[in-house]
């Protein structure tokens, strides 16, 4: 693999002719008077002559698809892109200047790590740059990182691993300890393939692999959502024809419709509504769960963060989230709060994963943390109960300012079959218990658990396009109304809703103002409609669900007994 120059990497993302460099006068000296086979000062001079650069990183401002950004780009040809005192100062200044100028930052890393010739004061640049990245993200500014070949050591362990969204170059060497040092310290080489971008992706440590030629478009897609801007009408923004209100019906029949494996899954709904999709992978701790789909996207023109319980329709498997899935969900919640974007959750699960690994991984604690985090988010939150909602595994994503429910959506403390088995030692009473437990959409609305029902004149499995259109129109309307609501009133209503539910009759719903008509286009660039991103995700993610998903998932008997 060849090593592109910083200029070549800048050209991958910046609009032609838009880059202006910052802090070119900040250059390395020889603070320790270091010399080995060659004096350090001479090595610096040779590096400058060879690369035409004064330092191992180039920082500045450019536009990407018309949007102003700060760039931090490694020059690997300059002493292996290593981080000395001046390098760290350039990076910190760039991130701090981006805060002042309210600019997102795009970082393209390629480095062997800390510069040994500057010793401990070079090492401490890790702390300096990590703190600068923290300040940037605390300011609510997007920080996009692409780990290029190679990225190791102190760069990966500081500013290279702190992105809001992290891409990696296919085939890139990525790891904390470089291969030569790893062999020396451990006495043997690391297993083949461990320190690769592909392995990082498999463990949810990067969000995607992006080829150099696709980088500008992928960065622009993230910025189109992360920078918000006015809601723009999507290609399917027209509302469907009105449908008569939902009347109470047969709860057991409704639950069977919710469980229909041909019912549209979250991926299908997003494919109908979503533009500028960037999938977020992993929980940040080396695990991923394909049952949890998290993404940045525009939903019918509205920028949002999405968390979805994602059924595998092709393999006809339900979404049973693991502790890693709930940790990934919490990562997405935090990102929504950080970027001040609304959060939309899709609930469709018979229950959370069951097994020793889930218990030992802290499943109950992760569900509890999701509930606590959702209750405290300051951004607008919207939940869509799109299918079956089984126990705490479903409720973990259902807490919101406003809750939509498909007509054949349901929420149960225990599956009716499980309740029948406990009470009657059979499953023959499941139908009557479905009604007795008040799990159907019309009952959920009666008790104030959901705010609006999305009608299904025919079950969604028989009319997926019609259901997607009705649900999409409801989501768009609710998001725009939530954006127009007073924040204090909205947060107080959410707090009261869950404080009072079940204790004093139906909870009072949040009354939202009518949103203004849709106007304008997103500032600084075009939307990138890409249903293919979700199709590609299905091919990449679902085959990796592991042995637990190969087991038989009996929807009636596999869920937890209750919460």
Is the pLDDT reported for residue 315 higher than 90? no
Residue 171 covered by a domain: yes
Res 120: pLDDT: 96
Buried b / exposed e across 532-560, counting CB within 10 Å, b at 16+?
ebbeebbebbbeebeeebeeebebbebbb
Among 147, 333, 237, 240, CA closest to 527: 237
- The answer to whether residues 137 and 276 belong to one domain is no
Residue 318 covered by a domain: yes
- The answer to whether residues 373 and 459 belong to one domain is yes
Kindly report the CATH number assigned to the domain that includes residue 286. 3.90.226.10
- The answer to whether residues 208 and 339 belong to one domain is no
- The answer to whether residues 212 and 336 belong to one domain is no
Least confident of 183-192, 226-235, 274-283, 486-495: 226-235
- What would the two tokens of residue 321 be? 């989230």
How many domains does the chain divide into? 2
| Average of per-residue pLDDT across 341-360 | 95
- The answer to whether residues 320 and 221 belong to one domain is no
* β-bridge mates for residue 501, sequence order: none
- The answer to whether residues 374 and 478 belong to one domain is yes
- The answer to whether residues 156 and 282 belong to one domain is no
Residue 52, domain extent: 6-225
Res 546: pLDDT: 41
- The answer to whether residues 322 and 191 belong to one domain is no
Is the pLDDT reported for residue 231 higher than 80? no
Residue 252 covered by a domain: no
Is the pLDDT reported for residue 66 higher than 80? yes
Name 534's Cβ contacts closer than 8 Å, sequence gap at least 6. 267, 270, 271, 274, 277, 279
Res 548: pLDDT: 41
Buried b / exposed e across 191-204, counting CB within 10 Å, b at 16+?
eeeebbbeebbbeb
- The answer to whether residues 199 and 310 belong to one domain is no
| Average of per-residue pLDDT across 355-381 | 96
- What would the two tokens of residue 353 be? 């994963």
Is the pLDDT reported for residue 547 higher than 80? no
- The answer to whether residues 288 and 205 belong to one domain is no
Least confident of 19-28, 54-63, 92-101, 522-531: 522-531
Percent above pLDDT 70 for the chain: 86
Residue 236 covered by a domain: no
Q: Taking all residues of the chain, what is their mean pLDDT, rounded to a whole number?
A: 88
Res 417: pLDDT: 92
**C-alpha pair distances (Å), 265 with each of 260, 310, 352:** 10, 6, 17
- What would the two tokens of residue 340 be? 């001040």
Residue pair 60/71 in contact by the 8 Å Cβ criterion: yes
Residue 541 covered by a domain: no
Pick the last residue of a domain from 225, 248, 275: 225
| Average of per-residue pLDDT across 545-552 | 40
Specify the pTM.
0.88
- The answer to whether residues 59 and 199 belong to one domain is yes
- Confidence band of 384 (pLDDT split at 50, 70, 90): very high
Is the pLDDT reported for residue 524 higher than 90? no
Question: pLDDT (tens digit, 9 = 90+) per residue, 512-521?
Answer: 655 545 444 4
- The answer to whether residues 313 and 459 belong to one domain is yes
Residue 430 covered by a domain: no
Is the pLDDT reported for residue 33 higher than 80? yes
Res 276: pLDDT: 96
The residue whose two tokens read 């054949």 is: 408
Residue 529 covered by a domain: no
- What would the two tokens of residue 58 be? 């180039």
Angle between helices 85-101 and 125-138 (to 10 degrees): 10
| 173 DSSP 8-state letter | B
Residue 508 covered by a domain: yes
């Amino acid at each position: 693999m060849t090593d592109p120059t910083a200029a070549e990497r800048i050209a991958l993302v910046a609009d032609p002719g838009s880059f202006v460099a910052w802090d070119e006068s900040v250059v390395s000296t020889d603070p320790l008077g270091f010399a080995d086979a060659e004096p350090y000062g001479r090595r610096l001079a040779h590096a400058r002559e060879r690369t035409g650069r004064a330092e191992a990183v180039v920082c500045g401002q450019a536009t990407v698809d018309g949007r102003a950004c700060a760039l931090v780009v490694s020059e690997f040809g300059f002493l292996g892109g290593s981080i000395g005192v001046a390098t760290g100062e350039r990076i910190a200044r760039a991130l701090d200047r981006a805060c002042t100028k309210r600019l997102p930052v795009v970082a393209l890393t390629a480095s062997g790590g800390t510069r040994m010739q500057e010793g401990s004061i070079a090492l401490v640049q890790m702390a300096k740059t990590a703190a600068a990245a923290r300040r940037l993200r605390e300011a609510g500014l997007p920080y996009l990182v692409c780990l290029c070949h190679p990225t190791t050591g102190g760069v990966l362990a500081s500013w290279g691993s702190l992105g809001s969204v992290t891409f990696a170059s296919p085939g890139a060497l990525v790891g904390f300890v470089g291969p030569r040092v790893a062999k020396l310290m451990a006495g043997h080489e690391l297993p083949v393939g461990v320190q690769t971008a592909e392995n990082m992706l498999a463990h949810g440590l990067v969000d995607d692999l992006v080829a150099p030629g696709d980088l500008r478009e992928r960065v622009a897609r993230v910025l189109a959502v992360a920078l918000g801007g006015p809601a723009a009408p999507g290609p399917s923004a027209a509302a469907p024809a009105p449908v008569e209100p939902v009347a109470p019906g047969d709860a057991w029949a409704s639950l069977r419709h919710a469980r229909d494996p041909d019912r549209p899954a979250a991926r299908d709904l997003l494919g109908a509504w979503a533009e500028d999709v960037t999938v977020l992978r992993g929980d940040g701790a080396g695990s991923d769960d394909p049952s949890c789909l998290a993404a940045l996207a525009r939903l019918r023109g509205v920028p949002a963060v999405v968390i979805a319980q994602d059924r595998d329709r092709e393999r006809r498997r339900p979404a049973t989230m693991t502790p890693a899935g709930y940790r990934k969900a919490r990562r997405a919640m935090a990102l929504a709060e950080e970027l001040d974007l609304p959060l939309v959750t899709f609930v469709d699960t018979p229950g959370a994963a069951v097994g020793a690994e889930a218990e030992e991984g802290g499943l109950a604690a992760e569900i509890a943390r999701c509930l606590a985090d959702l209750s405290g988010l300051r951004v607008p939150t919207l939940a869509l109960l799109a299918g079956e909602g089984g126990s705490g595994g479903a409720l973990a994503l259902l807490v919101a300012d406003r809750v939509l429910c498909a007509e054949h959506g349901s929420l149960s403390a225990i599956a009716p079959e499980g309740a029948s088995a406990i009470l009657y030692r059979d499953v023959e009473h499941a139908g009557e218990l479905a009604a007795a437990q008040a799990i159907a959409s019309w009952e959920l609305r009666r008790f104030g658990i959901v705010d609006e029902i999305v009608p299904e004149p025919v079950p969604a499995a028989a009319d997926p396009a019609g259901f997607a259109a009705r649900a999409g129109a409801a989501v768009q309307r609710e998001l725009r109304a939530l954006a127009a609501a007073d924040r204090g009133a909205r947060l107080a209503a959410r707090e009261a809703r869950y404080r009072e539910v079940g204790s004093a009759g139906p909870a009072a719903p949040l009354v939202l103002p009518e949103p203004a008509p849709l106007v304008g286009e997103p500032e600084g660039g075009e939307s990138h409609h890409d249903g293919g991103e979700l199709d590609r995700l299905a091919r990449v993610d679902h085959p990796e669900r592991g042995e637990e998903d190969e087991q038989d998932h009996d929807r009636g008997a596999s869920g937890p007994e209750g919460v």
